[in-house]
Structure 1
Amino acid sequence: MRQLRDDTHILLDGAVRVYRRVRSRRWQAAFTIDGHTVRISTGKRDLEEAKEYAGDAYLEYKFRHKNDLPIVTKKFSDVARLAILDMRKQLNAGLGKKVYKDYIVCIESYLIPFFGSQHVTSIDYQKIQDFYEWRRIKMGREPKASTLNTHNSAMNRVFDEAVARGFLAHKNVPLLVNKGEKSERRPDFTREEYATMIRKLPSWITQGKKGKPTDMRHLMRDYVLILANTGMRHGTEALNLRWKHVTLFEDKGLQYLEMSVSGKTGRRDIICRSGTINYLKRIHERSEDIKHIPFEQLLKNKVDLPVFRLPDGTVSKNLHQTFRAFVTETGLITCPRTAQNRTLYSLRHTYATFSLLNDGMDIHALAVQMGTSIGMIERHYSHLTPRLKKDMLTGKRYELSYAEYQAQQASG
């Protein structure tokens, strides 16, 4: 049997222990509910007052357990873990947002380490300001606005949990602000730079060593062109793409290519620009195990194989290195408008820019196609506004010809 300290007092037939920590004048209490040990501070220096408080707390917890209410304190760490548990349940059920994973990392890495022992009811404006300073020191820099959005959303998930469980009134939830550095403009390609890239790709491929190096260059070429003509995300969305996710359909005598992509924001269907089918056919023709199947039949059969793979069926995660080598050798590595180095993500930004400027696509349609929010499109592509409004600002109706652009795409 556990040895109790001399200053430990037993209440309610041994169910509750009241004791003091070393060098503390206030009494603590401990009891077990449904196998969970609950430890609380009574906040009292007088023993009789502490006993009364501890007894009331025990009965309250017993009541909560009997009525299937959570056995949890109002400590931030406890409420935060409940919020994490709820998000994980939703993710496991396929109902949660992908961003919940980021919220969980934020809560575990930043919020619990700072606020963990505090009660959610005690977090006020000054403590939020103290957290901002602590976070800046921990990160070693001022966080970006996008990072602060994630942190604020994660914090609000915890406060929402506290409100839902009756620990905190909604009116008492502290206001979170975002004063982070604005995200920088993202590097992309102009039409001229994109045309240069397409023009130089074939000769660059022929200069590669025979075997896998050349195979990588061929695959990278089609990978780049598909990213630039669909707006899908490099990485997860592209690597998750399988032939069964690609569909050809007709409407009013016209043929359309559709892809179902899955990644950061869940699954969505996207419509590809017309030249995309040619790049897919090239990948198909290089695939030894499926090239004997007619292309359209391949799509109808819903073949469960990755689209982006080498002729021997290998899926490579090193296409970004091949791309970097290409843009470095051809002098296209640095975006002159942002002074940033281009990556495969630059093709997604190029798609967005071309869609707004050349296709006349509205922001809502672009947000749906790219699997992002209208606010995100507005933040990152607001620099295009004067050119988007040029017709209205000049009083002219201007229609851009796609002949040159489509010819470049076809030659890609």
Structure 2
Amino acid sequence: MAEHHTLYGGKLHVYKRPNSRFWQCSAYLKGKNRRVSSKEESLQLAKEFAEDWYLDLRGRARDGNLKNEKTFKQAAEQFRREFEVITEGQRSPRYVEGIMKKLDNYLIPFFGDKGLSEITPGLVQEYRIHRQSYAVPRKNYAAPEGHKPNPNTIHQEMVALRQTLKTAVRHGWLDRLPDLSTPYRANSKITRRAWFSPEEYRQLYEATRRRAKAATRANHRIWAEQLHDYVLLMANTGLRPDEVKRLQYRDVEIVEDEATDEVILLISVRGKRGVGYCKSMPGAVRPFERMVERNHPEPSDLLFPIDHAKALDRVLREEDLKFDREGQRRTAYSLRHTYICMRLTEGADIYQVAKNCRTSVEMIQKYYAAHIADSIDAAAVNVRKPRKKPQNQ
């Protein structure tokens, strides 16, 4: 049974929860039960903290500064109930699960008991500092000492925080959103996406081809051949890895392109941007034909029923291709980046590339075109004014 002590004639309570080493304080004021942790293990120090805290509450209540307001935890629970309605079902279950984990693991433990008006830009910055040295242990994984979260992880947590506070604003629990921007931050450096140069790409698909030929067991050979065709298909279509996972045989059609008189694949793509279309390079046709001959599929069968990410990662490490010169990690997504960069290098129209890859021209200009030497027209840059010949005196 939890230890429990009362002060001020039963108006103030000091207690310890089971399996906790800290004493908690609670008091009922202005129609609400208020709680706080003393952060003290000593009962005497906890009582002193509780008295100071209670007297401060009474003073604020007397001056009219103690307001009955919703806590961040209550706003988070409301946001959790509304989330699927807010996103109109356009977010994947995995994304929703990730947002909820960020709330449960980090945001609610830090902001939970705070009143919504107490969440100020200063407190948000304190949260960023707190996260530099704190991480929830994962199953079968312990973060190394001194490990700092990825900047994108903090960004996603700020997204979850902002969405929760927007829920509070909609319900009138908060009059406006606090400033959640990162102070002291300069414009971030724009780095190109990790991709394979033509020589590196050739090294990769030759390595997957060798693995397929070297496989001795039938099932190993089939999956090695699938991996080889996966690499070729990805690099010749520019599909996202999640789009490839959803791809069924009935989504792919071999057609003759009237504009180029080449045989290509016409692919109906279902991905994060909804349903779209992709026209492949001719190099994607033969891998697809091999897959049909090998697998004898039904129209509704997936092209790649298993995830080849781990097998691809193993090949990249064996071939010393896992990281590019800037230390960026290459993954299956790098094959999409390779497709875009090669198309731009060959002089393809940037708008058509963006349309075929179901992305925006701005994204391609920012992360791809700005880092390709062939996108700079030397004839337009190296312009010289004609020099006047000096007149003879």
TM-score (norm 1): 0.66
Residue identity opposite 2:377 in structure 1: K
Distance 1:21 1:372 in 2: 59
The question of 1:21 aligning with 2:12 is answered: yes
- What do you get for the CA RMSD once the two structures are aligned? 4.1
Distance 1:183 1:369, change over 3 A: same
1:404 corresponds in structure 2 to none
Q: Residue 316 of structure 1 is aligned with which of 281, 292, 306?
A: 306
Please list, as runs of the form range in 1=range in 2, the aligned pairs for 1:72-221 lying within 5 A after superposition: 74-90=70-86, 94-96=89-91, 99-139=95-135, 140-170=146-176, 173-177=178-182, 179=185, 186-199=193-206, 201-221=208-228
Q: Residue 233 of structure 1 is aligned with which of 240, 245, 264?
A: 240
2:278 partner SS: strand
Distance 1:126 1:74 in 2: 20
Q: How many residues align?
A: 333
Q: Residue 280 of structure 1 is aligned with which of 288, 304, 308?
A: 288
Percent of aligned positions that are identical = 23
Distance 2:164 2:324 in 1: 43
Distance 2:169 2:297 in 1: 57
Q: Comparing both chains, which one has the higher relative contact order based on Cα–Cα distances under 8 Å and sequence gaps of 6 or more? A: 1
8 Å CA contact retained: 2:6, 2:12: no
Distance 2:222 2:11 in 1: 72
**Deviations for 1:286-324, whole angstroms, at most 9, x for unmatched residues?**
11455xxxxxxxxxxxx211112xxxxxx333x334334
Structure 1 residue ranges without an equivalent (≥5) = 10-18, 31-37, 58-72, 291-302, 309-314, 396-412
Distance 1:160 1:320, change over 3 A: closer
Distance 1:39 1:135, change over 3 A: same
2:371 corresponds in structure 1 to 384
TM-score (norm 2): 0.69
Residue identity opposite 1:229 in structure 2: N
8 Å CA contact retained: 1:97, 1:265: no
Distance 1:336 1:146, change over 3 A: closer
Structure 2 residue ranges without an equivalent (≥5) = 15-24, 36-53, 136-145, 384-393
Distance 1:109 1:373 in 2: 34
2:13 partner SS: coil
8 Å CA contact retained: 2:194, 2:329: yes
Distance 1:287 1:390, change over 3 A: same
8 Å CA contact retained: 1:189, 1:335: no
Distance 1:136 1:361 in 2: 43
8 Å CA contact retained: 1:83, 1:158: yes
Distance 1:53 1:121, change over 3 A: closer
1:258 partner SS: strand
**Deviations for 1:4-39, whole angstroms, at most 9, x for unmatched residues?**
x99999xxxxxxxxx833157953366xxxxxxx75
Distance 1:335 1:275, change over 3 A: same
**Deviations for 1:118-171, whole angstroms, at most 9, x for unmatched residues?**
11112112211111111111145444443333222222212211211112223x
